[in-house]
Amino acid sequence: MKMKETPQELRVRKRMLPGAITLHGFIGNDKRSLSTIIAADEQELEKLGYTAEDIADRMQYFTDASFSTFDGSIIIDNCYKLETDVVRGKLPCPYAHGGLYRKAITKLTNLENNESVSWTSLNIHLIKDHHFFEGKGSLFRLEPTVLVKALF
């Protein structure tokens, strides 16, 4: 069943297109509505036994731990290699909440299984507050299964 998009959703989706807030946007080649994308990822997470908050809190923990290492890499808890890619500037949330999020990219590699993920502060916010992991094919799309393997 296709869910109809509300005017609010359509406005948000427009801000997620390439060139609006970021060069590549947040949707990729995903044709599904935002609520459909979000519902599918919530279902996936539930199967994996984690909540969006669990994931976001874990990402925040690593971002905080690695942020002082500017341009270097650091091993945390003997298992996670963190690198910070310093990109100057801040990004607004496409849901137009007024908050600004650092563009710097945190890259994590799980040294036990070699699974690796990259994110910005905006990704953490989008996951925590909107349960949005970006559309399929988006540059910063974060697959729940990959996140769970990498982060825990």
95 binds Zn ion (CB under 5 A): yes
Stretch that binds Zn ion, among 1-9, 65-73, 89-97, 142-150 (CB under 5 A): 89-97
Residue 96: CB atoms within 10 A of its CB come to: 12
User: Which secondary-structure segment (H or E) carries 116?
Assistant: strand 116-119
Q: Residue 91 Cβ, how far from Zn ion at the closest point, in Å?
A: 11
Among 85, 97, 112, 137, binds Zn ion (CB under 5 A): 97
Number of residues that bind Zn ion (CB under 5 A): 3
Among 45, 52, 82, 93, binds Zn ion (CB under 5 A): 93
Residue 46: CB atoms within 10 A of its CB come to: 11
| Residue number, 80 or 95, with CB nearest to Zn ion | 95
Which residue in the shown chain puts its C-beta closest to Zn ion?
A: 93
d(CA 79, CA 109): 8
Stretch that binds Zn ion, among 16-24, 45-53, 94-102, 113-121 (CB under 5 A): 94-102
- 133: which DSSP letter? -
| Torsion 89-92-93-94 (CA) sign | negative
